[in-house]
Amino acid sequence: MLRLSKLTDYAVVVLARLDAEGGVQTAPCLALASGIAEPTVAKVLKALAQSGLVEGLRGARGGYRLARPLVDLTLSDVILAVDGPIALTACVDGASGSCDTEATCPVRGRWDPVNDAVRRALSGISLADLAGPASRTCHSQGHGTQGHRAAPAPNPLPAPPVPLPAE
């Protein structure tokens, strides 16, 4: 079964919350708004910043902001930032040495078109397509809730599909 990692799912949620809140937001604010543990939000933001999807700002008014609008961020951008290259099998894109049956495999190299199709599909989905309606939960331009406790926002992603029973 193909499935995104939890960190990639969390990254999509954090990016959607960052867009909904607008401006510069802190990790604690985003954690509160998303219902995701603060250490996890910080880990996700670090990966997103290293990939250039968000910008980290230092100082008293510091935090994170989107590097570009959600409509310009794709699901494949987030997967690459959090999990690395998208590959369905170990031998995709000419990789070698990672499979015991590599020398005699009858399908070696034939996964590339499938992998390319998956990449194209994921590149065609923007985070704006995934994000639900925006509602703010952080206050005062992203510098905490200043004593207010907002309820965690619902996950803006639809529920994952229910796996089909194995035959």
Binning pLDDT at 50, 70 and 90, where does residue 145 land? very low
129: exposed, middle or buried (Cβ count in 10 Å: 0-12, 13-18, 19+): exposed
Asked whether the beta carbons of 71 and 119 are under 8 A apart, the reply is no
118-129 pLDDT per residue, tens: 999 999 999 999
Those residues whose C-beta lies under 8 Å from the C-beta of residue 54, and which sit 6 or more positions away, are: 15, 18, 45, 48, 64, 65, 66, 67
Q: Where are the alpha helices (DSSP H) in 22-160?
A: 27-34, 38-50, 75-83, 112-123, 127-130
* H-helix or E-strand spanning residue 57: strand 54-57
Whether the predicted pLDDT of 115 surpasses 80: yes
What is the pTM (predicted TM-score) of this model? 0.75
Mean pLDDT within 132-136: 67
Percentage of the chain beyond pLDDT 70 is 75
Those residues whose C-beta lies under 8 Å from the C-beta of residue 5, and which sit 6 or more positions away, are: 82, 83
> At which residue do the structure tokens 């902001």 appear?
65
So what's the pLDDT on residue 89? 78
Mean pLDDT within 7-18: 96
Domains contained in the chain, CATH given: 6-142 (1.10.10.10)
Whether the predicted pLDDT of 152 surpasses 70: no
Mean pLDDT within 88-99: 69
